[in-house]
C-alpha cells in the first residue's frame, strides 16, 4: 500500500516530487480579501478557491490574498503557469488543500518551500481515521474533504493557527474571525442535514460526473456514484456507462448531476441510455465540485458553493428546500 499523506512540510513535498503530470493553464483568481488591506500587509496564496475563501475570512484585511485557481478550474489537471509560480515565490504564506488534490503543483510548492516560504496543508488536522480511502485510489486518501462542512471547520483552525504564528499581533482578529466563520459552517451543516433528510430514502442516490462527493454522501446519508474516479484523469468506459444505466433504470432514479469543472459528455450518455430503456432521467442541475462559482457571487464563496449543492440536490431528488437556499442568496432556478 502506498504511503498515506496527511500533512505538509518540506519532506512530504519532496516525497511527491516524482509525480509527472500534464495539465491545463488558467488565469488566477485575484479577489481581494474583505475589508481594506493594511499598509504593511503580507501576501498569502491559496491554491483552490475553497482554501482561499477560508484565508480571506480569517485574515479579513490583514493580508493580501490571491487564489490561484478560479471558477471552472479542475485542480486535478491544473499545471501552474509562469505567473502562478511567481505568485508563489512572491508570497509570504501559502495554503493548499493537500491529500494530492494539487499533485501537479508539487514541484512549484517544493520550490516555494525551499525558498523559505511558509507552506501549509489545511487538511493537516484531520485524523486519518476520518479520511476516506477508496480502493481504486491506490492506498491514498480522497482529498475532497470540503464536501463535509463539519470537516472543513478543521481547515479553518489550521488557517487561524498558522496566521497567528506568522503574525502574532493579529491573534485576536484571527481568533474572532475564525469563530465567526466556523459558526457559518455549523449553520450550513445544520441546513444541509435538514433539507437532505427530506429527500425520500429510495432517492438518496447522487450520481455525478466524478467521485468528488463521497464525504458529502457520508455526512448527509447519500449513496454516491461517480462515473469517473476521484481524479478526473481517469476515464469512464462503455461498460461503466451501461452499468450505471442499469442502476438508474432498476432503482427508478430520476435525476443525475453535472459538475462545473468536468465535461458533461458522460452524464449526457446516461440520460440518452436510460431514455432508450424507457426510463426518464433528467439533469438535476450543475454542482460545484472542485471549484466554487464566479468571483463576486454568493456561489463564489465556500458557503454559497455548498448551499447551492445541498439545495440543488434536495430539490432535484424530491426533497424540500427553499429555491434560493439557506440564506435566500442563491441564483438558483432549479
Q: Would you state the pLDDT for residue 257?
A: 92
User: pLDDT tier at 94 (50, 70, 90 boundaries)?
Assistant: very high
226 strand-pairing partners: 208
Give CA–CA dist 303/301, Å, rounded.
5
Note whether residue 222 is domain-resident: yes
Give CA–CA dist 162/46, Å, rounded.
13
In our burial notation (b when 16+ CB lie closer than 10 A, e otherwise), range 90-106 reads ebbbbbbbbbbbbbbbb
- Retrieve residue 22's grid coordinates: 500534464
Give the torsion sign (CA, 77, 83, 86, 88): negative
The answer on 205 and 164 residing in a single domain is no
Q: Of 137, 159, 189, which residue constitutes the final position of a domain?
A: 189
Q: What is the mean pLDDT of residues 84-107?
A: 94
In this structure, are residues 143 and 100 in contact, taking their beta carbons and an 8 Å threshold?
A: yes
Lowest mean pLDDT among 23-27, 143-147, 236-240, 268-272: 23-27
CATH code of the domain in which 236 resides: 3.40.50.1980
Note whether residue 19 is domain-resident: yes
Give CA–CA dist 236/233, Å, rounded.
10
Q: Of 49, 43, 139, whose CA–CA distance to 94 is shortest? A: 43
Q: Tell me the pLDDT tens digit for each residue of 209-259.
A: 778 899 999 999 999 988 765 344 444 467 778 888 998 999 898 899 988
The answer on 95 and 145 residing in a single domain is yes
Q: Tell me the pLDDT tens digit for each residue of 14-35.
A: 333 333 222 333 334 444 434 3
Q: Of 165, 189, 213, which residue constitutes the final position of a domain?
A: 189
Q: Of 305, 298, 225, whose CA–CA distance to 257 is shortest? A: 225
**Residue 69 pLDDT exceeds 70:** yes
| 3-class state of residue 227 by DSSP | strand
Note whether residue 109 is domain-resident: yes
DSSP state of 8: -
Percent of the chain surpassing pLDDT 70: 83
The answer on 165 and 230 residing in a single domain is no
In this structure, are residues 43 and 133 in contact, taking their beta carbons and an 8 Å threshold?
A: no
The answer on 230 and 178 residing in a single domain is no
Q: Tell me the pLDDT tens digit for each residue of 157-213.
A: 999 999 999 999 999 999 999 999 999 999 999 999 999 999 999 999 999 877 889
**Residue 326 pLDDT exceeds 90:** yes
**Residue 43 vs residues 46, 89, 94: alpha-carbon distances, Å:** 10, 10, 9
Note whether residue 326 is domain-resident: no
Q: Which helix (H) or strand (E) holds 43?
A: strand 42-46
Q: Would you state the pLDDT for residue 206?
A: 94
Q: Of 142, 164, 189, which residue constitutes the final position of a domain?
A: 189
Beta carbons within 8 Å of 18's beta carbon, 6+ residues apart: none
The answer on 148 and 41 residing in a single domain is yes
In this structure, are residues 227 and 210 in contact, taking their beta carbons and an 8 Å threshold?
A: yes
The answer on 225 and 281 residing in a single domain is yes
Q: What angle do CA 208, 97, 99 make, to 5 degrees?
A: 75
Look-up: residue for cell 483568481? 29
Note whether residue 4 is domain-resident: no
The answer on 173 and 60 residing in a single domain is yes
Q: Would you state the pLDDT for residue 333?
A: 57
The answer on 207 and 117 residing in a single domain is no
The answer on 157 and 102 residing in a single domain is yes
The answer on 210 and 170 residing in a single domain is no
Domain that holds residue 150: 10-189
Neighbours of 117 (CB within 10 A): 18
3-state helix, strand, coil in the chain (%, to 5): 45, 15, 45
Give CA–CA dist 258/246, Å, rounded.
19
Note whether residue 331 is domain-resident: no
Look-up: residue for cell 480511502? 133
208 strand-pairing partners: 226
**Residue 90 pLDDT exceeds 90:** yes
- Retrieve residue 7's grid coordinates: 500533512
Q: Would you state the pLDDT for residue 233?
A: 44
Q: Would you state the pLDDT for residue 261?
A: 67
Give the torsion sign (CA, 204, 210, 213, 218): positive
The answer on 177 and 145 residing in a single domain is yes
DSSP state of 72: T
Q: How many domains does the chain have?
A: 2
The answer on 209 and 165 residing in a single domain is no
**Residue 39 pLDDT exceeds 80:** no
User: pLDDT tier at 1 (50, 70, 90 boundaries)?
Assistant: very low
Note whether residue 201 is domain-resident: yes
Q: Would you state the pLDDT for residue 226?
A: 80
Q: Which helix (H) or strand (E) holds 287?
A: strand 282-287
Note whether residue 321 is domain-resident: no
Amino acid at each position: 500500500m502506498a504511503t498515506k499523506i496527511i500533512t505538509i512540510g518540506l519532506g512530504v513535498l519532496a516525497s511527491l516530487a516524482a509525480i509527472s503530470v500534464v495539465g491545463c493553464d488558467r488565469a488566477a483568481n485575484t479577489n481581494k480579501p474583505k475589508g481594506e488591506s493594511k499598509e504593511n500587509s503580507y501576501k498569502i496564496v491559496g491554491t483552490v478557491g475553497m482554501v482561499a475563501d477560508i484565508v480571506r475570512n480569517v485574515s479579513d484585511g490583514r493580508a493580501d490574498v490571491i487564489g490561484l485557481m478560479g471558477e471552472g478550474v479542475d485542480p486535478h489537471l491544473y499545471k501552474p503557469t509562469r505567473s502562478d509560480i511567481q505568485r508563489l515565490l512572491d508570497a509570504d504564506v501559502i495554503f493548499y488543500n493537500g491529500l494530492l488534490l494539487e499533485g501537479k503543483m508539487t514541484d512549484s510548492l517544493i520550490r516555494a518551500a525551499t525558498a523559505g516560504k511558509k507552506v501549509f496543508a489545511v487538511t493537516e488536522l484531520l485524523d486519518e481515521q476520518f479520511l476516506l480511502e477508496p480502493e481504486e485510489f491506490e492506498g491514498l486518501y480522497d482529498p475532497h474533504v470540503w464536501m463535509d462542512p463539519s470537516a472543513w471547520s478543521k481547515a479553518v483552525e489550521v488557517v487561524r493557527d498558522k496566521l497567528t504564528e506568522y503574525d502574532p499581533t493579529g491573534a485576536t482578529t484571527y481568533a474572532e474571525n475564525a469563530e465567526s466563520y466556523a459558526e457559518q459552517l455549523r449553520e450550513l451543516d445544520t441546513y444541509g442535514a435538514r433539507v437532505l433528510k427530506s429527500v425520500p430514502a429510495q432517492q438518496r442516490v447522487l450520481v455525478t460526473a466524478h467521485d468528488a462527493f463521497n464525504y458529502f454522501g457520508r455526512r448527509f446519508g447519500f449513496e454516491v456514484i461517480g462515473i469517473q474516479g476521484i481524479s478526473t484523469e481517469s476515464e469512464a468506459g462503455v461498460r461503466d456507462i451501461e452499468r450505471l444505466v442499469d442502476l438508474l433504470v432498476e432503482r427508478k432514479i430520476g435525476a443525475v448531476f453535472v459538475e462545473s469543472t468536468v465535461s458533461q459528455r458522460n452524464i449526457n450518455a446516461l440520460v440518452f441510455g436510460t431514455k432508450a430503456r424507457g426510463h426518464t432521467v433528467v439533469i438535476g442541475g450543475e454542482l460545484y465540485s472542485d471549484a466554487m462559482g464566479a468571483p463576486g457571487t454568493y456561489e463564489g464563496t465556500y458557503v454559497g458553493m455548498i448551499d447551492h449543492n445541498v439545495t440543488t440536490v434536495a430539490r432535484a431528488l424530491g426533497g424540500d428546500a427553499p429555491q434560493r437556499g439557506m440564506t435566500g442568496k442563491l441564483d438558483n432556478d432549479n
